[in-house]
Amino acid sequence: MGRETKDVALEETLDPEDWEAMRRLGHEMLDDMLTYLQNIRSEPSGSPPQKVIKEICFPLPQEGEGEEKVYEVFQQNILPYTMSLTKPRFWGVVAGTGTPYGMLAEMLRAGMNGAQEALFAEAHVHKQVIKWIKEMLGFPEEAGGVLVSGGSEANFTGLAVARNAKADVDMKAKGTQGQNRRMTLYCGDETHHCLERSVELLGLGNEALRWIPTDDDCRIRLDALEKAIEDDRRQNNHPFCIIGCAGTVNSGAFDDLRGLADLAKKEDMWFHVDGAFGAWVKISKTHRHLADGMEEADSLAVDLHKWMCMPYGIGCTLVKDRRAHYSTFVYGHEARYLKSAFDLVEDRMINPHSLALPLSRNFTSLKAYMLLRAYGRNKYGNLIQQNIDQTNYLAELIRKEPEMEITAPVVSNIVCFRYTPRKLAEEKLEKLNRLIYGDLNQRSFMMVSDTTIKGRYMLRACNVNHRSRRQDFHFLVDEVKRTGEKLVSQVNP
């Protein structure tokens, strides 16, 4: 008995020795984070000073410092210096601002250790979330889908299915090296760079991706696309996929999705849509028409941590051909039994482990399920509409300013603009606006970003922020004017 007691005393655990002390610390952490979000408009943010970096970059201790001490480090040296994407005046990056309830949902997932393979209810929750997303985006009921880490993985997943479905050979057995013809795919020159990364990782090589010029409205030119496909066929290449944009990251432009769908059908090509944030115009009142034709895509990539403001990271790939989707990621080569036993493998066909790259997955669908059920379609639709209305309001404020101009079409939730004092040459305008951006960024990190469209440098505000109010956009315009007036002498002495 004594030997057994002695052995037990030596056994380790990561559970607390004092559960009541852990409970008190947990309540303190929860209250602190809710207070932080409640007061987010006035919370500081910015790059950490050197002394803070030294506190963070600390040698791993041989003996732990304890939960309370490390929480102090978080409070003092980490939280005040995080990126300000939760703030009401954050429009620089297409990044959702999160929600208090989403934070709590993440806590529940972490409390269960959130591994999907360990949760019996997860399959039903995941299936229901995919069903809700299809309904909101007008995607066919018979389509399948999978939740992933974000838009990059969602696009990668859709293109992986496209590659395997349209290849001349069994790609799982022979790979791209077994192809007799080079596979080529097509996107507009305003497409997000994550598509290029996907093409490279899929073994196609970035030279297989054809960047098609866009028109003055930043939409892919159908005539140029048709010519590129024709040229590739003439050179014995294998055009297999057209990529359309539902909201480009630079300007928020929408390609002619219906026209692209018709062309893909005519050419027997896969039609993939990158709808990372823009697809959600489908639940707005006034701009849902921008996504017309999206429902005809063979695959669609969307984010839920951007315009839907769910905690990072969560995205979704929807695929019409569920067999092609499943056979791309399931073990072994082509799943021949699917041809005669589709109904017998229904459970496998909706199992997220069989529909994307990761095998170890957390219970991502829980936060989506809880947030969508808590707030409903109308609430999210109203927020999407609110952001669009606010964006148009900002555009009107800029148009009223004699020394500011809109520099790209305002299509959905992005305004591109610049400060333009009279009689300033083009090269000086670019230099001045670069200085304005740098000055703003130092004082309010990523309040806006900068970009270049059709060779012209400009500032850019993208609104997926549920905390923004109209007075915040007045603040932005006033800050740009004040900063420009202060800096103009540096480029025009």
* Three-state SS annotation for 341-410: HHHHHHHHHCCHHHCCCCCCCECCHHHHHHHHHHHHHHHHHHHHHHHHHHHHHHHHHHHCCCCEEECCCC
CA distance 102 to 311: 6
Q: Is 150 helix (H, G, I), strand (E, B) or coil?
A: coil
Residue ranges covered by each domain of the chain? 104-372
Which position has the token pair 């013809």? 181
CA distance 40 to 84: 9
CA distance 394 to 401: 11
Q: How far is CA 434 from CA 385, 445, 450, in A?
A: 31, 15, 8
Taking the CA of residue 438 as centre, how many other CA atoms within 13 Å lie in the half-sphere pointing to its CB? 7
The answer to whether 308 touches 281, Cβ cutoff 8 Å, is no
Q: Which residues pair with 188 in a beta bridge?
A: 212
Reference 414, options 302, 318, 276, 269; nearest CA is 276
Beta carbons within 8 Å of 304's beta carbon, 6+ residues apart: 133, 310, 314, 315, 316, 368
Environment class of 401 (CB within 10 Å of its CB; exposed 0-12, middle 13-18, buried 19+): middle
pLDDT confidence of residue 300: 98
Q: Which residues pair with 270 in a beta bridge?
A: 241
CATH architecture assigned to 104-372: 3-Layer(aba) Sandwich (3.40)
Reference 261, options 305, 320, 312, 313; nearest CA is 320
Q: How far is CA 115 from CA 103, 106, 311, 429, in A?
A: 18, 12, 17, 53
Omega before 313 cis (within 30°)? yes
- Residue ranges of the chain whose pLDDT lies below 70: 1-9, 114-119, 331-349
Phi, psi (degrees; rounded to nearest 5) at 125:
-65, -45
CA distance 225 to 229: 6
Which position has the token pair 């170890």? 360
CA distance 190 to 193: 9
CA distance 233 to 309: 43
CA distance 266 to 17: 67
Reference 248, options 93, 414, 91; nearest CA is 414
Give pairs for 323-329: CB < 8 Å, separation 24+.
Answer: 323/349, 324/161, 324/164, 324/165, 325/144, 325/146, 325/161, 325/355, 326/144, 326/354, 326/355, 327/164, 328/160, 328/161, 328/164, 328/165, 328/172, 329/160, 329/354, 329/355, 329/356, 329/357
Question: What is the Cα Rg of the chain in Å?
Answer: 25
pLDDT confidence of residue 9: 60
pLDDT confidence of residue 334: 45
pLDDT confidence of residue 369: 96
